[in-house]
Structure 1
């Protein structure tokens, strides 16, 4: 499988903005740099054809995220992790053949993985940032368009490592059933989670007890139809006041990878 160049439209200060020219929707873009790509987690916000219609295979409310680390590109949030080496050269980004994990999931989730690869595979892509360069408060938007005029729009969220430092990695099994629990805001439906430990060979060696979790896992959506095991990056957010107690420390949970997922079978009803 060959993945060709991803062209990055450049805008030099004082010059005219480059425009995506293959779709019916004209957009002005400026060049994106390696530091800008690496500074954000890019969350998929839109996937449409040249006429603005939703692209087949991309689920509404997708939790797909793209991030860049060094010379590596990763797409997560679907069924499998999709990754590839990339290299910027002037206005082009050369993407090598992607590598994917081989998990089986529900057909609609697997279709989204295939749609991402098909969008890039064998295509010469145009990409750039949409927001004005001098608007420091705007959330950056990364526009990627192929020669058929189809496009993916990604919104940037500051990468957690830059905000909080290096994370602790944990593995959680998520039950497809929630549990009513009490929070500071009152009664709520909590996730039921339990921690799993693996040895260096990736063999499961210990499973913890179920407990309630009232927090949020960034980049992940609960699915009551699936049993899942997640690899999470947990970031410790210490209070600004160094005199704060341990009780003041908060945690940010971000999805790194879905390790296991299986469809929950509906119980069979007995006929009288």
Structure 2
């Protein structure tokens, strides 16, 4: 049996930690469109609303130096562009070699970050290994910051004094799309799916899930009965034969279409996996 459980000592942190793995998915966008429409076409140092940063996942779409040349070092993962997330006073960077985080503030139209902390994974691909420092030092250079909107798509620009300019495209977070903070729950997902009666999908195979509840000491207090889940979990891809415990956010879907679920589940992190 191959187990990869999260250390028990860390579980209380898992119960309360902020989301670290925002997902890339579609969904209701009315709240996002309203947010963008309310924002000015171009922000200035005097008018910048730092709150807009928290409403989106920011994915790197362009980067150039003072001569206009593309900064290839920042695109070591073409299929997974660098992503910035701003949650309260914390900035996190994902899709580099390691996960990177720091405190931040916006002051005088510039992004100020505290000391960078990161996980300690070793990436054999040198370009990927170098990606951590390539993005970290540019974030720590106190770049000027602005947000522009092109229709319903916001773009975040970070411009350093040496001429480097990074452009990130915003995708609404689940909180923005669903219009509330959601509820954090833990779901245990059985290793195998089972046939289920779905009103719209013939021969549907459903995940089998049950909710887990933990005490303050991280010990499992209860697990509900196994039940079919008639919908997908955004950001989660099930591998047959693998049992997982997931930390997810559960949202209420406002005015869902007929026969569509009134709740949505978005993956926050995989807590435990086992065969």
- 1:258 and 2:232 matched: no
Paired with 1:115 and 1:150, the residues of 2 have a C-alpha distance of 19
Q: Is the 8 A contact 1:76 1:256 kept in 2?
A: no
Alignment of 1:70-219 (within 5 A): 70-75=88-93, 82-100=100-118, 117-123=132-138, 124=141, 125=143, 127-132=145-150, 135=151, 138-144=152-158, 151=166, 153-157=168-172, 160=175, 163-175=178-190, 177-187=192-202, 188-218=204-234
Q: Which runs of 5+ in 1 are unaligned?
A: 1-28, 241-246, 265-272
The offset of 1:86, in angstroms, is 0.4
Alignment deviations for residues 180-222 of structure 1 (CA, whole Å, 9 cap, x no partner): 433221223433333222110222333344332232333x141
The offset of 1:259, in angstroms, is 2.5
Q: Is the 8 A contact 1:141 1:156 kept in 2?
A: no
State the superposition RMSD in angstroms: 4.4
Q: Considering fraction of residues, name the structure with more helix.
A: 2
Change (3 A) 1:87 1:239: same
Normalised TM-score (structure 2): 0.58
